[in-house]
Structure formats: structure tokens, C-alpha cells
Chain A
Amino acid sequence: MKKTKRTFVFLILLALVLTFIVIPENFIIAFPFGGTKQTITLNPPEININLFGLKLQKKFTTHLGLDLAGGTQVSLEADMTGIEEADKQDSLESAKQVIERRVNFFGVSEPVVQSAMSGTTYRILVELPGVTNTEEALALVGQTANLEFREVIEQSIDASVSAYLLPTLENTKSVGITGKDLKKSSIQFNTETGEPEVSIQFTPDGTKKFSEVTKRMVGKQLAIFLDDMPIMAPTVSTEISDGQGVISGGFTVEGAKQLSIQLNAGALPVPVKVVEKRTIGATLGTESVMKSTRAGMIGLGLVALFMIIQYGWLGVLADLALIMYGLITFSLYRLIPVTLTLPGIAGFILSIGMAVDSNILIFSRYKEELRKGKPWHIAMELGFGKAWESIRDANFTTIITSIILFNPANWSFLPTSGLVRGFAATLFIGVITSLFTGIVVTRTFIRVLYKGPKMKKGEQS
């Protein structure tokens, strides 16, 4: 009982903190004070801590998708010089796919990437939700990401000087290994210096080539170029035959992440340049959004009312647990952050409907046990115990589905698109949270706040 009380207090505190996080943006409260009207504008909190050089910055704002809030549209024009007329459309299509992979690699922000043609211009339209921080995204979409390994051409200067030679395109020549020979790359941190690095893994073919080159070049410099710019030029110490390598070169975390995304997504088949960058409005009218939100609220109210009619005081407690569910999921949306689109919100409202399910399962079990003549508190605990197996199995299948759709390992045969990913992310958050509220929150609320069904006169509990 003591432990239950502690959990209860913890849940109340959690609810308070979460309420603080989900405060609407620019929410205005007006109240009369001393004859004049006072207003307070509420905003979600911001964390801005600078502790011993460790910067922690977090703004708890809702990220809205292109359909609800619009964003930034970037037009990229493909340079088709030197490409056969018949191949132009294919080149544009594959460039679009590379850019799509890049913008979708880590995010769940549901961008739109589209090819556009008119006459002789071939463009790719990239639409990103939100207007801030597009510079970063631009740097990501526009680069051709041509990785190349080059060896320094032997020169008649003595060895001690050439060890510090700055590689350029002129004094090096290609060794025939490019980004195409990479299987995958990821970001990692140097165990000694803590600096971010990009680890690379070659394809079987690339491994063979790399092994031959490093064997031949022991003691010599092997330069790595990205888009014809040298990033690093390490000296080969031994032959590398396992196909693993590390690119380090004073990267920032962002820089290393970007390079790894670009290498994974592949190089652009045609050079592109940004021709335009503009702000675009929402694709859905505000009227439609308002209507849908109101409909959702009415639906939600009906569900809450239904629970109370069906289960009485227990229904009230289940509704409280639902409010908790709403607070937790919405806070997670802001923390992660998950970009909210209209289907996302519909999914969220729907998941509230589904979150009721674990409560309904538990309550119907409880009623059954009660009918068998068990005292209510034992019936309740039995109800939780017996419902658990079905809750576990039913939710576990949904968790499997959401993980496969999210494709966390970025397997190329599964979707990496923001749309499917965004759906999977909201589904996953919804299921995990509903498990927590269905089991922990409802149970604690009932243990602390529920005093059993109303006694008829003369009955003993």
C-alpha cells in the first residue's frame, strides 16, 4: 500500500510537469484586476542551460506538418548538360529518389519531394515543414556527395615533406574506389578523443579493392575527397582487409551525421543547384482543420461519457487515466519531436479510443469475478491479472507492426519515407503509452481512489 501511495504521488507530480510541457503556445488569459483588464500570455517552457560548456537547449513547441502549417519550399534545378535527351527523365527521377532518401533518413517530419518538368527545365521540389533551420536541410539536399579515394602522386621531394603535403585534385590520382563501393556508413565517436567520426563499410567488391590499395600503399598517404574537396589524408599504416574504415577530419556531430546520411543515400546522378527558396502555406484550409478538431473533441467527449455511463465511478477513473495518456503522448510529441500532420492527429485521437480498450478489458474481467462472488478488491486484482495476457499479446503485435514500418535500421527494401515512418512513430508511442496508462496509472488510481462498489444496506464488504 505504501508503494502504491508513492506511485500515486509520483503520477500526480508527473501530470503536473507534463501539463507544464503541453501548455499551448501564445495562450492568452485575460482577467479583470483592480478595474483594468490584465492579460497573461502563456508559453511552453524553454530549457536553456549552459553548464561547464555543456549546452542543453530545448524548446517545447509543437511541430506541425506541411498540411497544417506549411513550411519552406526549395526548388532545385538539375543541370542536364551532357545527358542524353532520352535519359533526362530517368536521371531526374533517380536524383529525386536520392534526395528523398536524404531528407527522410533520420527524421519523421514528413517532407514532400517531387519532380517537376516543364519544357527544358528539370526541377526537384522539396517541401519541408517549419521555416526555421532550413539551412541545415539545404546543405543536406543540395550536395552531390561524391566520395573518392585518391593517392598522392609520387613527387621528387623527400619523404619528410611529402608527409605533410596538402592533397589537391592536381597532385593526386584516383585509385578507383568511390562512394559506390560503400555498403553503409554510420556516425560514431572516437574512443580516445570523443570526436565524431564517420565509419564506413565496403561492399565485398570494395573490400577487395581497398585491401589491394592499402597493401600497395603502406606508409603512403591516401586522401579522401568529398565533392572534389579533400576531407582527410591519412597515412596507411597496414593493409586493411576487413573492409572497415573510419573517416575523421574534425567533424562536428552535425557534419558527421550529414556526411553519413549522404554516403548512405548515395551520390546524386546529376548536379543540382538551389534556384528558389520560399515560404508556403498549409495545404489544408484552416476551416477544415478547425472542423476536424472540433469533431475529434466531440468524439472524445462521447467516449468519456460512455465510459462513465458504462462503469460509473470506475469510468471516471479510466477517464482520468485517459487524460494522463493524452498528456504523456502529447509531451512526447513535443520532446522527440514528432511532426504532427492531420492523419497524425486523427491517429492520435483514434489511439485514445484504443487506449480505453485495456481499461474495458480489465473492467469486464473485474465484473466477471465480482459476479462469481469475490470481494471487490480481490476481483479487481484478479481482473488486472487475467486481462494482462490478452493486453500483452494484442499490443505486442501492434508493436511489431510499428517497428517494421518504422524501419529503424534503414533497410533499403523497406520504406524510409517520412509518411509511413511518421505513422509508425505515432503508433509506437501510442501503444507504449497506453500500456503504461492502462496498467500502471489506472491500477494505482483504483487502488488509492476506489472504495468499492456502492453497498446495499445490510451488506458487508
Chain B
Amino acid sequence: MIRFSKYIWIYICISALVLILGIYSLLRFGLQPSVDFTGGTLLEMKFAKSISTETIEQIAEKEQFPVMTVQTIGTSSYGIRAGIASDEVITSFQAALASEIGEAPEILRKETVGPILGAELLFKSVVAALLAIAAILLYVAYAFKNIKFGVSAIIALIHDVLIVFGSFSLFGHFFGVEVDTLFMTAFLTTMSFSVHDTIVIFDRIREYRKKDPRGNIREISDIALNETMGRSLINSFTIIFMLLALVLMGGESVKWFATALLIGTITGTYSSPFVATPFVILWESLEQKKKKKLL
């Protein structure tokens, strides 16, 4: 049996290191919002013959034109959603298209568009997430008859969410990865996965607590962790397989989405035994010490 509870300070160091890096990056660089959040330019171009949307995307990438999506409109017109682009940039993009395709497209429309996911919706989503966190806290506290479990599960959840946000802040700074609507979905998935995994471990602790209500929390958690570690790893591996396949072989559009989910899954698996459980242990020990002092 591995005495997991002996190495709590190591887990604290690991988490602190990653969190400090992530939070520093979040504060220093922030996140790179995509057109979904900021709004940008909507171009409509008409060609004489129909060409594939991928061709336009490739040319845009080569020209460093901030294109997000290209979609066909009717037969040979194309709607291009892009970041905010000045007239000169658009003109040079148009010229590049002309030389690559052999035909200058006619620009039918050039508009400034608002965000798909505006501030209002973003705010409401945050409210919903906070409400969900509160509900989870109450339910876990109720199901385990102990507020410590509820709070610890939520601490692990916040830990995971911060790591996902932090790593995307770093990706944004170094690779120019943007945060879009897909990222929102990944963030919500991480939230529910994190708690799911934590509860499985807490359930074991609860079980041994019932058998031996006076048992030492460190010993009980060590047994629980040893017994659940196998299933946690097996379960996470199945999800990680799936996501790795998507990251390595999936299309460009899902790559970063899958990466966000992958980070969420890894930290979600890590945080259950190494953040949530130590937190319960430390809290309980602190209480015990206080009681002893009083006696």
C-alpha cells in the first residue's frame, strides 16, 4: 500500500507551481478572445467559378489574414468571418486571392459584425456556472453528511478550471491560440468531470467511515486512494485515448478543443486524489489538533 497522505506537501508544490504559472499568465497576458467574443469583419466575396472553402482558408493563412470561418453562400459566393481587418489588409488579401486563383473576387459586402457570444451571454454563463458550483457543493455536503467534502470537491474543481484557463492563456501568448465558443464547452465539461471523479474517491472514504467512525482520516484516505487509483486511471485512460486520437488526428478545428478537454481530463483525474482528498485530510487534522488543545 502506498501511503499517499505522507506526501501531501509534494502535491501542494506541484499544484502551486502549475497554478502560479497559470494565474501569472492569466493576469499578465490574459486570454486571446476569438471573433466569437469580439466581433470582427464579415466579408462576402463573389467568384466567377466555385472554389473550395479550404483553398480560401489556406491562402488566408499564408497571407496572415485573420480568417476564422469560410462558408459558401449560394453557389460561388463566400462569407468570410475574420478578425478586425483594415481596408489595406483586405485589399492585399483580395490581391493574393486573385494571383492564386487567377481571378479577382468581387467584394459584395464588407461589414463590421458584433460578437456571436456577447458580454451578456458570457455573464449569464458565469452566473450559471457559479450556481452549478453552489448546487454541487450543497449536494456533496448533503450526500456525505459533511461540509468538508463539499468544499474540498469545489476547491479541486476551481483548481482544474484555473489550470485549463491558465494553460490556454499560455497557449494564447506563445502560439496565438484563441479562446472561442468551443472552449466554453470544454470548460463546462471539465467542471462536471472534475467533480465526478472526486466523488468516486469520497465514496470510498465514506464507506470506511461507516465501518469505523473513529478511524484516522489519513489511514482511511490512504486505503481509499489505493483501492480507487486503479479504476481512476483506467477510466481516465479511456477518455485520454479518445482525446489523444482527436488531438493527433482530428481536423484543425477540433484540435484545440480536444486539447482543452485533454488538459481538463488530466487535471481532473489528478485533482481528485491529490487536491480534494489532501484538503479533507488537512482540514480534519486541523480540527483534531484544536480539539486536543481544548482538552
Q: Residues on A close to B: CB < 8 A? A: 70, 73, 93, 96-97, 112-118, 123, 125, 278-285, 287-292, 294-296, 298-300, 302-303, 306-307, 310, 342-343, 346-347, 349-350, 352-354, 356-357, 360-361, 364, 368, 386, 389-390, 393-398, 400-402, 404-405, 407, 413-417, 419-420, 423, 427
Contact = CB atoms under 8 A, between A and B. Distances in A.
Contact of B249 (A291, A346, A353, A361): A291
28 contacts: A73-B79, A112-B116, A114-B39, A117-B111, A282-B71, A283-B70, A288-B251, A292-B246, A295-B246, A299-B241, A299-B243, A299-B245, A299-B246, A342-B182, A343-B181, A343-B182, A346-B246, A346-B254, A350-B189, A354-B196, A364-B231, A386-B207, A389-B206, A400-B135, A413-B127, A417-B124, A417-B125, A427-B188
Nearest to B68: A283
Contact of A356 (B69, B116, B235): B235
Given A288-B252, A288-B253, A303-B238, A400 B136 contact: yes
A281 B196 CA distance: 38
A302 B241 contact: yes
Contacts of B237: 306
A419 B188 CA distance: 12
Chain B, interface size: which category? 35 or more
Interface of B: 39, 42, 52-54, 57, 69-74, 79, 81, 109-118, 120-121, 124-125, 127-128, 131-132, 135-136, 139-140, 143, 181-182, 184-185, 188-189, 191-193, 195-197, 199-200, 202-204, 206-207, 227, 230-231, 234-235, 237-239, 241-246, 248-254, 257-258, 261
Contact of A287 (B69, B127, B238, B251): B251
A427 to B, nearest CB: 7
Contacts of A96: 114
Nearest to A413: B127
Nearest to A357: B235
B128 A397 contact: no
A43 to B, nearest CB: 26
B234 A360 contact: yes
Contacts of B254: 288, 292, 342, 346
A446 B110 CA distance: 62
A361 B251 CA distance: 33
Contact of B143 (A118, A361, A393, A407): A393
A280 B72 contact: yes
Contacts of B128: 404-405, 407, 414-415, 420
Given A116-B113, A295-B250, A405-B128, A419 B181 contact: yes
A113 B124 CA distance: 17
Contacts of A114: 39, 42, 113-116
Contact of B192 (A284, A292, A300, A397): A397
A386 B207 CA distance: 9
Contacts of B257: 343, 346
Contacts of B70: 283
Given A350-B243, A405-B188, A415 B125 contact: yes
